[in-house]
Structure 1
Amino acid sequence: MFKLAGLTLAALTLSAAAHADIGLKLGSTERVTRLFAYPNNCNVICFRNWTLEQTVEHYLTQSVQRDGYSEAKVQVKTDNGQLFAEIIGVPRSYEKPLTALLDAGDLAYNGASKLNADGKWAYSWYFFLPLGMALENRRSVELLHFPPDYSLTQAQDYLRSATTDRWASLLTLNGIPAEQTPGFQTIIDIAPIAAPSNAGKDLEGVYDYFKDYQTTMVKNVSKTASGEALPMVAFGTPVRNWIKQQYGPTVNVLSLATISPVDGVKVPVLGANHPSYIWYAADPDNYTGTDAKAKADVAGLKVMGQDLSAACWQAAMGSQPDSNPDIELRSCTQTWQVAQKEKTCELFYTSIRSLTTAQAVAKCASATIAPQLKQLKAPAPATAKPAPPL
């Protein structure tokens, strides 16, 4: 009887271990090569001289780690022209979101191919899917325009850019531990194209080529595995316009809307500035008059307050998805644009103007700036140049 019990326990242990591993067919060498943009960074000499299998392992390892499976191991092998991934240390359900991402990637590739066939693909663009994101344990979703090229060619990390780094820092200022910010930054770019950072204008007109991909991705990532809606932030004018075109509601900066990408799922969406917009708004060259520097400071302060408020909402809703979106937004704007407006000011001068903390405190208490803090919610000064389509 004891021996039988031991065998039963051993069988259960093996079963549990098997349940924690997955084996997944990724597809043909041709399919995997295009979906993982392989080689990521080669111009005769490869910046990282990785094989296709190593490249796939790299991105899948990023995903499992950002999902919280720090001990998970990924191995990718090729057999008879087909690639297979074995992931040890993740639940069997992990196969589903990974398969969904790759299937959506096929739709994106079809759109990119049509774009190129129509003569609209630029030589400096790279096809780039949101690889390495948290696939299962997401806390919130970020809708953005396009990834910068260096995230692919240099970093080989979708979450390594000035844009994502700045927003991660705002999330930490709102109570999210730095190591947890990737779970809040599951990104969908409406153009799956890694391009130079100033290419926003050039990408206008390409979005319709990726409609099937865009809507499929939003359906896939806007809810948890159990079907609960995840909060979403729409960054920048092109993305907020896309929300209106695709789903109907108008989403302005610090305004809320609800979309239903899946029947029965109501996703709260907050409009926000593009994370990089503050550098444009705070640039004195974009203003006229002898007081251009003062105008730029005032505009930058207001954008800083808006950005901190948006990150606050994202942090709160991602931590407690059943919270009331309107109440959280009012609380966040009250915090950063009223109660802690001096702190908002100091953060602007340290992070954007590169002042020391002491210099920032003095600047925010000066006769020039202190009165402006009473009107942090007022419209920013108008720039002489139109804002770039970030």
Structure 2
Amino acid sequence: MHKKSGLTVILASLLIGCATQPGGLQGESVDLGDSQRVSRLFAYPNNCNVICYRDWTLEQTVEHYLRQSLDRDGYPQASVNVVRHGERILADFKGAPDGYGKPLQQLLDAGDLAYKGASQLNSDGKWQYNWYFFLPLGMALENRKSVELLHFPPDYSLTQAQDYLRSNTTDRWASLLSYNGVPVQQTPAYQTIVDIAPIAAPASAGSTLEGVYSYFNTYQQRMVGELTAGKGDGTLPMVAFGSPVRNWIKQQYGVTLPVLGLGQITSAPGQQTSVLGANHPSYIWYAADPDNNQGSEAKANATGIKVMGQDLSAACWQAGMGQNPGNDPQQTLTSCTQKWQVTDKQQTCELFFITVRNLKPEDAKAQCKAG
């Protein structure tokens, strides 16, 4: 009886509000749910196969991802402490703005919908043994600049890195954003990801996962609507990467998006969002493979430079619209394509040879002049 009363006091205190911290920053306790809910939404335990790759407790796991969010929101001085009270898991924030727990709760509520879809997928015998349920944890929760719509996260982002933004895909796109004036430390704010399949899986799983989207429709639509909502200065821009994702946009919103195609979707009632079609960030390695260009290295380089120009233009649009959501989307795109595919085509060429062919800058410059 005494234990139950203590829990009642703890939960009641959550409803009272936030305690003010020095300097106008806030302290806030967020009830994340019971341990069963938190375990499934935070992909716990951590890659355990007899031996755990990271032998963390549930509380340590949750703290890890929430710490990532604080850093990516620009609050490195803030802290979070995750504690267990009975069956409830609480996250105590200090030094974060008042209301910081609201977008976290929105993510977890959407995660419940995703888990329901994944459970149904398993009941229907379509779940595979090497898939992992994985929500986009550790993203910027409050100070987002843009949204990236992708297919599914690679398995190693969960099993090895436990960092949703640690992948070859996201690393490459972060570099493209930096070439377009986004400081490296700020690129995570532009890379708030929604994967239409919240399943960490091997790279080879792409075609199989294309058949499971319908299980996650309510999750997908809620995430797109909530993440693209701005702070009163217009909705955030979104980039749709790869043909499966662009096809999904067509199916869900009736908007056709070729590469560098621009469209508007109704992401929530009364909420219009600008969306740009783009190549998958990893597509360039396929496009620039001589085996996919009649065995010709010259043709492969030409194809790769073309894709590089498209990718730099898309990242340029994302950076420009993210920095100022009030910009005209079409004018921004026109300016970006002019820059990377006409005015600075030499630099586009050099960046291709440096980042894809791994040449030294001086060798890349010579290659582009010769070409």
- Normalised by the length of structure 1, the TM-score is 0.88
Question: Counterpart of 1:158 in 2: which secondary structure?
Answer: coil
Q: For residue 339 of structure 2, what is the aligned residue in structure 1?
A: 335
**Does the alignment pair 1:37 with 2:43?**
yes
The total of aligned residue pairs comes to 352
Q: For residue 365 of structure 1, what is the aligned residue in structure 2?
A: 369
Distance in structure 2 (CA, Å) of the matches to 1:233 and 1:15: 38
Q: Is the 8 A contact 1:21 1:90 kept in 2?
A: yes
* Residue among 106, 110, 113 paired with 2:119: 113
**Does the alignment pair 1:252 with 2:258?**
yes
Distance in structure 2 (CA, Å) of the matches to 1:356 and 1:225: 43
Q: Is the 8 A contact 1:227 1:265 kept in 2?
A: no
Distance in structure 1 (CA, Å) of the matches to 2:36 and 2:68: 22
Range 233-242 or range 14-23, more displaced = 14-23
Q: For residue 192 of structure 2, what is the aligned residue in structure 1?
A: 186
**Does the alignment pair 1:345 with 2:349?**
yes
Q: For residue 131 of structure 2, what is the aligned residue in structure 1?
A: 125
Q: Is the 8 A contact 1:190 1:214 kept in 2?
A: yes
Amino acid at match of 1:165: D
Q: For residue 104 of structure 2, what is the aligned residue in structure 1?
A: 98
Amino acid at match of 1:73: S
Q: Is the 8 A contact 2:29 2:93 kept in 1?
A: yes
**Does the alignment pair 1:150 with 2:156?**
yes
Q: Is the 8 A contact 1:148 1:194 kept in 2?
A: yes
How far did residue 267 of structure 1 move? 0.6
Identity of aligned residues (%): 63
Q: For residue 235 of structure 1, what is the aligned residue in structure 2?
A: 241
Q: Is the 8 A contact 2:46 2:56 kept in 1?
A: no
Where do residues 292-331 of structure 1 align in structure 2 (5 Å cutoff)?
292-331=296-335
Amino acid at match of 1:146: F
How far did residue 32 of structure 1 move? 0.4
Q: For residue 4 of structure 1, what is the aligned residue in structure 2?
A: none
> What runs of 5+ residues in structure 2 fail to find an aligned partner?
1-18
Runs of 4+ in 1 over 3 A off after TM superposition: 14-19
- Normalised by the length of structure 2, the TM-score is 0.93
Question: Counterpart of 1:229 in 2: which secondary structure?
Answer: coil
**Does the alignment pair 1:284 with 2:290?**
yes
Distance in structure 2 (CA, Å) of the matches to 1:193 and 1:23: 29
Q: Is the 8 A contact 2:290 2:297 kept in 1?
A: yes
> What runs of 5+ residues in structure 1 fail to find an aligned partner?
1-13, 370-390
How far did residue 15 of structure 1 move? 4.2
Question: How far does the alpha carbon of each residue in 1:207-240 deviate from its partner, in whole angstroms, 9 at most, with x for none?
Answer: 0000010001011101124373000000000110
Amino acid at match of 1:322: G
**Does the alignment pair 1:88 with 2:88?**
no
Question: How far does the alpha carbon of each residue in 1:106-140 deviate from its partner, in whole angstroms, 9 at most, with x for none?
Answer: 00000000001111111110000000000110000
How far did residue 19 of structure 1 move? 6.3
Distance in structure 2 (CA, Å) of the matches to 1:336 and 1:63: 32
Distance in structure 2 (CA, Å) of the matches to 1:212 and 1:174: 34
How far did residue 308 of structure 1 move? 0.2
Question: Counterpart of 1:165 in 2: which secondary structure?
Answer: helix
Question: Counterpart of 2:258 in 1: which secondary structure?
Answer: coil
Question: Counterpart of 1:74 in 2: which secondary structure?
Answer: strand
Question: Counterpart of 1:132 in 2: which secondary structure?
Answer: coil
Question: Counterpart of 2:153 in 1: which secondary structure?
Answer: coil
Distance in structure 2 (CA, Å) of the matches to 1:157 and 1:174: 24
**Does the alignment pair 1:356 with 2:355?**
no
Q: Is the 8 A contact 2:46 2:55 kept in 1?
A: no
Q: For residue 166 of structure 2, what is the aligned residue in structure 1?
A: 160
Distance in structure 2 (CA, Å) of the matches to 1:334 and 1:304: 14
Q: Is the 8 A contact 2:21 2:27 kept in 1?
A: no
